[in-house]
């Protein structure tokens, strides 16, 4: 009874926030994403359209960012109004088939939880960026370079404060097996395996709070960042996907 009431209250708050604040717009600004121009990335758009039709969802708007994110991700107010953010590095890093697999992984996350995941992405993004902000503040106030012990310690202290609540929110909305769903959508375990291997071999350290939306978790530097880990190890995922071939 109480749990159902809390869910209704959260849904009401989520609806009001979505109406008052352009949450996905804020996320696009945070990650410096720009709309893909007409005719740009046409091959990716064709694959996105094909997969969207196959999944029975509206084609998301495409955005691209220069930031080195762990992978592309889906955000939106609800499952009818979504956007996919693609790091530019993926365009040159991955083959067309690998990109199709990663887009399939993004598209299977378009459901009744899309709005909630977007809100969580905004909140956790702001919380975890506080650690980097404090770390840079220590640099500019004379405590050394970004990777020196003192700035790292300041950043670690802040991360210790924000990581537990942020990770709790992330795990609350990331408890589904998207690998099997993405595999069914792109119709090739090998394509998804290849995409996972490519991203893991070319992983990045930043934006650890985005791992639950992306195909892989970014590289984690400390014990607090490990709280954000939502994926199994590369070896376990590949083993499971290869089992789908047999």
| Tens-place pLDDT, residues 88-138 | 999 999 999 999 999 999 999 999 999 999 999 999 988 888 888 887 687
Assess contact for 83 and 60: CB atoms under 8 A: yes
Of 20 and 23, which is predicted with more confidence?
23
Residue 56 has pLDDT above 90, yes or no: yes
C-beta separation of 203 from 69 below 8 A = no
d(CA 118, CA 81): 12
Residue 42's pLDDT band, with cuts at 50, 70 and 90, is very high
Beta-sheet strand order (sheet of 81-87) = 33-35, 61-65, 81-87, 73-78
CATH 3.30.70.270 fits 2-110, yes or no: no
List Cα–Cα distances, 8 to 5, 11, 13, 205, 223, in angstroms.
5, 5, 9, 37, 34
H or E element, residue 168:
helix 149-172
Task: Provide the 3-class DSSP secondary structure of residue 166.
Answer: helix
Q: Which residues pair with 101 in a beta bridge?
A: none
What is the DSSP secondary-structure string of 185-245?
A: HHT-HHHHHHHHHHHHHT--SS-GGGTTTSSSPPPP-STTGGGG--S--HHHHHHHHHHHH
* CB-based burial label for 5 (10 Å; 0-12, 13-18, 19+): exposed
pLDDT of residue 14 exceeding 60, the answer is: no
pLDDT of 6: 46
Mean pLDDT of 37-54: 92
SS3 category, 144: coil
As annotated, the residues of the chain forming the CATH 3.30.2010.10 domain(s) are 2-110
Token pair recorded at residue 57: 């969802």
Angle between helices 23-30 and 114-140 (to 10 degrees): 40
Length in residues, the chain: 246
DSSP codes of every residue in 18-54: HHHS-HHHHHHHHTTEEEPPTTTTHHHHHHHHHHHHH
Write phi, then psi, for 60 (nearest 5 degrees): -65, 155
Q: Which pLDDT value is given to residue 131? A: 82
Q: Judge whether 114 and 78 are in contact, CB under 8 Å.
A: yes
Query: What distance lies between CA 176 and its chain's CA centroid?
Result: 14
Q: How does pLDDT run across 180-215, given as a tens digit for each residue?
A: 999 999 999 999 999 999 999 999 987 888 999 999
């Amino acid at each position: 009874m109480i749990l159902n009431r809390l869910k209704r209250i959260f849904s009401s708050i989520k609806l009001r926030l979505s109406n008052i604040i352009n949450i996905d717009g804020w996320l696009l600004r945070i990650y410096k994403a720009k709309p893909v121009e007409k005719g740009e990335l046409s091959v990716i758009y064709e694959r996105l359209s094909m997969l969207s039709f196959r999944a029975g969802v509206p084609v998301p708007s495409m955005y691209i960012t220069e930031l080195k994110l762990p992978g592309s991700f889906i955000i939106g107010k609800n499952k009818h109004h979504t956007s996919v953010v693609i790091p530019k590095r993926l365009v040159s890093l991955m083959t067309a088939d690998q990109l199709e697999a990663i887009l399939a992984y993004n598209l299977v996350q378009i459901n009744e939880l899309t709005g909630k995941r977007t809100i969580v992405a905004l909140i956790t993004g702001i919380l975890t960026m506080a650690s980097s902000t404090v770390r840079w503040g220590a640099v500019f106030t004379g405590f050394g370079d970004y990777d020196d012990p003192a700035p790292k310690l300041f950043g670690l202290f802040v991360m210790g404060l924000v990581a537990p609540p942020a990770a709790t929110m992330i795990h609350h909305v990331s408890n589904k097996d998207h690998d099997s769903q993405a595999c069914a959508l792109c119709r090739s375990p090998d394509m998804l395996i290849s995409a996972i291997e490519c991203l893991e071999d070319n992983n990045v350290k930043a934006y650890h709070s985005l791992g639950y939306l992306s195909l892989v978790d970014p590289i984690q530097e400390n014990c607090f960042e490990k709280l954000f880990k939502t994926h199994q190890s590369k070896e376990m995922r590949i083993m499971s996907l290869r089992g789908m071939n047999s």
